[in-house]
A and B are shown apart, each in its own frame.
Chain A
Amino acid sequence: MTTYLDMAGIGKSFSGVPVLAGVSWSLRPGEVHVLAGENGAGKTTLIKILAGVHADYEGEIRLAGDRVRFRNPGEAARCGIAAIHQDIAVVPSMNVRDNIFLGREMVGGLPWMRFRAERARAGDILSRLGLDLDLTRPLEDFPVSVRQMIEIAKALVHDARIIIMDEPTSALNEAEAGRLFEIIRDLKGQGCAIVFISHRLEEIYRIGDRITVLRDGRSIRTAAAADLGPDGLVELMVGREVDRHFPARGSRPGRPLLRAEGVSVPDPAGVKRWAVEDASFDLREGEILGVAGLRGSGNSELFHGLFGALGRGVRGRVSLDGDAYRPVSPADAIRRGLVLMTNDRKASGLVPTMSVSRNISLASLEAFSPRGWIRARRETEAARERIRSFGIKVRSADQDVATLSGGNQQKVLLARWIEARPKVLLLDEPTTGIDVGAKTEIYRLLNAWTAARKGVLLITSELPELLSLSDRILVMHRGRIMAEFDRREATQERVIRAAMGKEEQT
């Protein structure tokens, strides 16, 4: 089969540090080509070169046989290459139509916009994507999944022949991801080539035709997905044999740590309604309690409400380690031994202007500053200890946290919350956007904490992860707890069915 795109001997360095070296791979029309590799393997850099973001690189790119060299994203777009980057690049305050045509506005002879033509074309494209949206509404009115679709719509406006998707499903739930895969199949059918990056193995095998594995900036191997099993893939990515995905755990849950009775949480958007209604559960010592639910099910709001992040509006009775507890503020929750790691490390997790060590100590500063004076040496030593035991890859504890890879940043956040010495951890998507190696290490940390009799409430949209890690699983749907499964009785099908609001058939 002929190739449409060839990248040969691609190399790229940042301030003298090689990030890519001698990477070669090719893309055929109508295929979904997965780029696989750990964080820092060079996937994102490679696609940024292809998309014209990085203009200075070594090597050669051939598009349909012709040598090309893009100096900026605009040139790449004109050659039919569209990239959907990790951080969704839409303008939330602008309406749907203007977002779709951003940078490619249809103008007449004079610099007047041809709104009617744009509307017709946008309608066309959206219907191809199976969407029916009010084009004049600002994009911020729509959920993240729609914004993702708008990115794809932008690619289609450009008549893209190559569409690059960098972790497109990380912000989507199962149903939305399924919809995205249907669209990808349609695009394939129309002869588009898709470059697909994902950290989720099941997705890779669900949608990928061929896989190219990158490791430490080199292309290790390209193979048909059918010829390369998940175990082999992970081995190639990590460069060593990974013994087990989910380490085994001998859990014997003890007495209740966190008990909620009839807890209701107000909608954080300020709308007069409950995001969580009448939730009751208990979490025991040494237990991981999974909280499943589609986006909007209220599981994330439940965490925020219990943590006091939504203020004093939470109703119901909660007890924490035997004492009555009323969510008031994050500061109060932390003091009482309840911590929340949010699902968005950029927006509400890291302080990017601070060093690794200061990020780690942030939630436990009072312990490091008796009478208000910070004991710098004690702080650094504690951070170094966490860096070592968590296996965080840094040059020094004083390094800016913003320079770390996603997985290491995630570990810094976990270190922050463990440093606060909690009894109960609320973890909202602790493994988003991080590589297999880092995930396994986070599983190992979870096990260590449950062995130390801490309790964990866990949200993760990766069902296999949820099923393997949780001792019990609560399933939420529209703000209510629909079902509770024991570890042994939980299956993907049962959890999804409950999450979509279907009662258990008995």
Chain B
Amino acid sequence: MTIPTGSPQDTSLRRLFRSPAFRALAALLLVVLIGSLFNAGGAFFRWPTHRDMLRHISVFGILACGLTLVIITSGIDLAVGSVLGFSAVLFSLLSLQLGWSAWQAIPVCLLAGAACGLMSGGLVAKFKLQPFIATLAMMVFARGLAKWISGGRKVSTAVQLADGSFQYRDVPPVFEAIGSKLFGQNIAVVTLVFLACVLICFVLLAKLRWGRYLYAVGGNEEAARLSGVPVAKSKLLAYGLCGLLSAVAGICHAVQEQQGDPEAGTTYELTAIAIVVIGGTNMLGGKGGIGLTLIGAMTIGYLEKILSLNAVGEATRLMLTGLIIVGAVLFQRHRK
């Protein structure tokens, strides 16, 4: 009931300080500052450190892009890690073992990932299942799929012949291509894939009508429905794209590992959620953006890099990461 309408205190500078993008950037800068203090003998100031951080975080970042779309509709997708595993196995099977070309294998994997997402989306949008439950089911189901098509074994270039001996196939060129670094070894291709995903999601969320629909559905679903927003289709779009992006991440993961591990991506959904949350996208839906997720990915990426550069043990690393997630979110919380 009380509105600071046009009051002198509410300058544009003040509003900038309160904006989520500013707060997310501040958190990132803080982490970078810590990195330059604890620079592990100057290692933090060398570009390969940053390049490797970006390469490492890219797969998680791609998952977080898809999750951002879903979280904006006030949903959640727990299946991103499993769909990553499933598509990593599928891609390895098709390209490493069956010898499909990249132009056949990649679209098939993307379609498979999108289909998983659309199934979750259908359960949420049409059957009104709670997103947590629908995607929990999909998480288990997709992991099962990954194990089923792989027979529970890692899918690599080693093909077992009829007599039980192994024959090693050549790694197809697409693996080399995606696994390589460009611009004088200065940036990894997977990082470029991640940035392309960010760009696509940005266009959707900021420029397209369907992106606006996602925000409206997350902000007030009933109001959106009564304003003519196609609520069910919007949700299908979000979950479908999330599944598709999980498949993109799966392909990248398979390329980096040069194999399809049916256990790949286990607990990745948690890191991806952490990235979205640290970025400042609201878990309640309706607020947030892909730029925030990019910042969040870098914050988490630097954090892990700094801790590993300084040879902090895993136990301490995990505890610190937990504390920092809480700290970042408290710092960003919009004060009423």
- Determine if B9 is an interface residue (Cβ-Cβ < 8 Å): yes
Question: Mask for A2-23, Cβ within 8 A of B = 1, else 0?
Answer: 0000000000001111010000
Question: Mask for B194-229, Cβ within 8 A of A = 1, else 0?
Answer: 000000000000011110110110111011111111
Check if B2 sits within 8 Å of A362, measured CB to CB. Answer: no
- Determine if B3 is an interface residue (Cβ-Cβ < 8 Å): yes
The docked-state distance in angstroms from the alpha carbon of A19 to that of B5 is 11
- Determine if A253 is an interface residue (Cβ-Cβ < 8 Å): no
Name the one of A334, A349, A351, A403 contacting B228, with C-beta atoms under 8 angstroms.
Answer: A334
Q: If the complex has contacts A350-B220, A354-B216, are A330 and B4 also in contact, measured as CB distance less than 8 A?
A: no
Name the one of B1, B4, B10, B223 contacting A350, with C-beta atoms under 8 angstroms.
Answer: B223
Check if B7 sits within 8 Å of A16, measured CB to CB. Answer: yes
A504 to chain B, nearest CB (A): 36
Check if B209 sits within 8 Å of A362, measured CB to CB. Answer: no
- Determine if B48 is an interface residue (Cβ-Cβ < 8 Å): no
Which A480-505 residues have a C-beta within 8 angstroms of B?
none
Check if A42 sits within 8 Å of B219, measured CB to CB. Answer: no
Chain A interface, >50% SS class:
mixed
Of all chain B residues, which has the CB nearest A404? Answer: B3
**B9: which A residues are within 8 A, CB to CB?**
15-17
Q: If the complex has contacts A353-B286, A406-B1, are A372 and B223 also in contact, measured as CB distance less than 8 A?
A: no
The docked-state distance in angstroms from the alpha carbon of A364 to that of B24 is 33
The docked-state distance in angstroms from the alpha carbon of A351 to that of B224 is 8
Check if A349 sits within 8 Å of B223, measured CB to CB. Answer: yes
- Determine if A342 is an interface residue (Cβ-Cβ < 8 Å): yes
Check if B209 sits within 8 Å of A353, measured CB to CB. Answer: no
The docked-state distance in angstroms from the alpha carbon of A74 to that of B10 is 33
Which B265-313 residues have a C-beta within 8 angstroms of A?
282, 285-287
Check if B3 sits within 8 Å of A330, measured CB to CB. Answer: no
Check if B226 sits within 8 Å of A342, measured CB to CB. Answer: yes
Residue of A307, A331, A354, A404 with most chain B CB atoms under a 10 A cut-off: A354
Check if B215 sits within 8 Å of A354, measured CB to CB. Answer: yes
The docked-state distance in angstroms from the alpha carbon of A353 to that of B281 is 12
A171 to chain B, nearest CB (A): 18
- Determine if A206 is an interface residue (Cβ-Cβ < 8 Å): no
Of all chain A residues, which has the CB nearest B334? Answer: A400
Of all chain A residues, which has the CB nearest B225? Answer: A330
Size bracket, chain B contacts: 20 to 34
Of all chain A residues, which has the CB nearest B226? Answer: A330
Check if B2 sits within 8 Å of A374, measured CB to CB. Answer: no
Check if A352 sits within 8 Å of B220, measured CB to CB. Answer: yes
- Determine if B107 is an interface residue (Cβ-Cβ < 8 Å): no
Check if A309 sits within 8 Å of B226, measured CB to CB. Answer: yes
Q: If the complex has contacts A372-B208, A374-B208, are A351 and B2 also in contact, measured as CB distance less than 8 A?
A: no
The docked-state distance in angstroms from the alpha carbon of A334 to that of B228 is 7
Q: If the complex has contacts A17-B7, A330-B227, A395-B10, are A372 and B287 also in contact, measured as CB distance less than 8 A?
A: no
The docked-state distance in angstroms from the alpha carbon of A404 to that of B4 is 9
**B212: which A residues are within 8 A, CB to CB?**
358, 365, 369, 374
B55 to chain A, nearest CB (A): 33
The docked-state distance in angstroms from the alpha carbon of A14 to that of B2 is 8
Which A357-382 residues have a C-beta within 8 angstroms of B?
358, 362-363, 365-366, 369, 372-374
**B173: which A residues are within 8 A, CB to CB?**
none
The docked-state distance in angstroms from the alpha carbon of A393 to that of B208 is 29
Check if A372 sits within 8 Å of B228, measured CB to CB. Answer: no
Chain B interface, >50% SS class:
loop
Check if A45 sits within 8 Å of B222, measured CB to CB. Answer: no
Residue of A348, A349, A352 with most chain B CB atoms under a 10 A cut-off: A348
- Determine if A170 is an interface residue (Cβ-Cβ < 8 Å): no
Check if A334 sits within 8 Å of B2, measured CB to CB. Answer: no
Name the one of B3, B225, B226 contacting A403, with C-beta atoms under 8 angstroms.
Answer: B3
Check if B2 sits within 8 Å of A330, measured CB to CB. Answer: no
Of all chain A residues, which has the CB nearest B209? Answer: A369
Check if A394 sits within 8 Å of B1, measured CB to CB. Answer: no
Check if B5 sits within 8 Å of A394, measured CB to CB. Answer: yes
**A348: which B residues are within 8 A, CB to CB?**
220, 222-223, 226
Total interface residues on A, CB under 8 Å, equals: 46
Check if B228 sits within 8 Å of A330, measured CB to CB. Answer: yes
Check if A15 sits within 8 Å of B4, measured CB to CB. Answer: yes
Check if B6 sits within 8 Å of A395, measured CB to CB. Answer: yes
Check if A39 sits within 8 Å of B1, measured CB to CB. Answer: yes
Check if A44 sits within 8 Å of B226, measured CB to CB. Answer: no
The docked-state distance in angstroms from the alpha carbon of A307 to that of B7 is 41
Which B58-103 residues have a C-beta within 8 angstroms of A?
none
Check if B226 sits within 8 Å of A45, measured CB to CB. Answer: no
**A40: which B residues are within 8 A, CB to CB?**
1-3
- Determine if A255 is an interface residue (Cβ-Cβ < 8 Å): no
Name the one of A15, A45, A351 contacting B1, with C-beta atoms under 8 angstroms.
Answer: A45
The docked-state distance in angstroms from the alpha carbon of A406 to that of B3 is 11
Q: If the complex has contacts A39-B1, A353-B286, A395-B10, are A362 and B227 also in contact, measured as CB distance less than 8 A?
A: yes
The docked-state distance in angstroms from the alpha carbon of A86 to that of B297 is 42
Check if B2 sits within 8 Å of A331, measured CB to CB. Answer: no
Q: If the complex has contacts A354-B215, A366-B209, are A405 and B226 also in contact, measured as CB distance less than 8 A?
A: no
The docked-state distance in angstroms from the alpha carbon of A354 to that of B215 is 8
Check if A44 sits within 8 Å of B1, measured CB to CB. Answer: yes
- Determine if B327 is an interface residue (Cβ-Cβ < 8 Å): no
B289 to chain A, nearest CB (A): 12
Check if A369 sits within 8 Å of B208, measured CB to CB. Answer: yes
A405 to chain B, nearest CB (A): 6
Name the one of B215, B216, B227 contacting A334, with C-beta atoms under 8 angstroms.
Answer: B227
- Determine if B230 is an interface residue (Cβ-Cβ < 8 Å): yes
B66 to chain A, nearest CB (A): 20
- Determine if A340 is an interface residue (Cβ-Cβ < 8 Å): yes
- Determine if A335 is an interface residue (Cβ-Cβ < 8 Å): yes
- Determine if A271 is an interface residue (Cβ-Cβ < 8 Å): no
16 contacts between A and B (CB under 8 A): A15-B4, A42-B2, A43-B1, A331-B228, A347-B223, A349-B223, A351-B216, A351-B223, A351-B224, A362-B224, A362-B227, A365-B209, A369-B209, A372-B208, A374-B209, A416-B227
Which residue numbers of A lie inside 8 Å of B, CB to CB? 14-17, 19, 39-40, 42-45, 307, 309, 329-331, 333-335, 340, 342, 347-354, 358, 362-363, 365-366, 369, 372-374, 393-395, 403-406, 416
Other A-B contacts than A45-B2, A352-B286, A362-B224, 15 sampled, CB-CB below 8 A, are A16-B7, A40-B2, A309-B225, A331-B228, A347-B220, A350-B220, A350-B223, A351-B223, A365-B212, A369-B209, A373-B208, A374-B209, A395-B5, A395-B10, A403-B3
Please give me the 9 A-B residue pairs with the lowest Cβ-Cβ distance, nearest first. Answer: A353-B286, A353-B219, A331-B228, A351-B219, A369-B209, A363-B227, A16-B9, A17-B4, A334-B228
